[in-house]
Structure 1
Amino acid sequence: MEKTLLNVEGMSCGHCVKAVEGSVGKLDGVERVLVDLSAKTVAVEYNNDSVSLDEIKETIEDQGYDVV
């Protein structure tokens, strides 16, 4: 199990949290997603045999946010 903390720009409200947590949480291999709006971060626990970090970043960016 891998853990990573991503810095994400553009999240500002509860809808943003639901969009990111919902989309990333649906990926195979993702065990946990936690958005912190005030810190502008997304913490992800995932199995790197099932999903790559690039896939997670792309999923966040597909929701309209920038992974920095």
Structure 2
Amino acid sequence: MGEIRYSVPDISCGHCVQAIGGEVGRVPGVSAVDVDVDTRTVTVRGEGLDDAALRAAIDEAGYEIAG
């Protein structure tokens, strides 16, 4: 199982967690999504993770990845 972590500076509340988790959770291969308000990170676990698709899902939720 692979893991990819993103820094998303605009994460600030439970709505952020739900919005990002919902979009990223729909990406094929994703088995778990952890959105951490304290560290403002999104950690995705799964098989055959597609970085571009994950980035697009975070963007679709209305958030930008740092860097």
Q: Flag whether TM exceeds 0.5 (same fold).
A: yes
* Distance across 1 between alignment mates of 2:16 and 2:5: 17
Matches within 5 A, 1:1-68: 1-48=1-48, 51-68=49-66
Look up the SS of the partner of 1:19 in the other structure.
helix
Look up the SS of the partner of 1:9 in the other structure.
coil
5+ residue gaps in structure 2?
none
User: 1:47 offset after TM fit, Å?
Assistant: 1.4
User: What is the aligned length?
Assistant: 66
Look up the SS of the partner of 2:27 in the other structure.
coil
Moved over 3 A (4+): none
Q: CA RMSD in A?
A: 1.1
- TM-score, with length taken from structure 1: 0.87
More strand, by proportion: 1
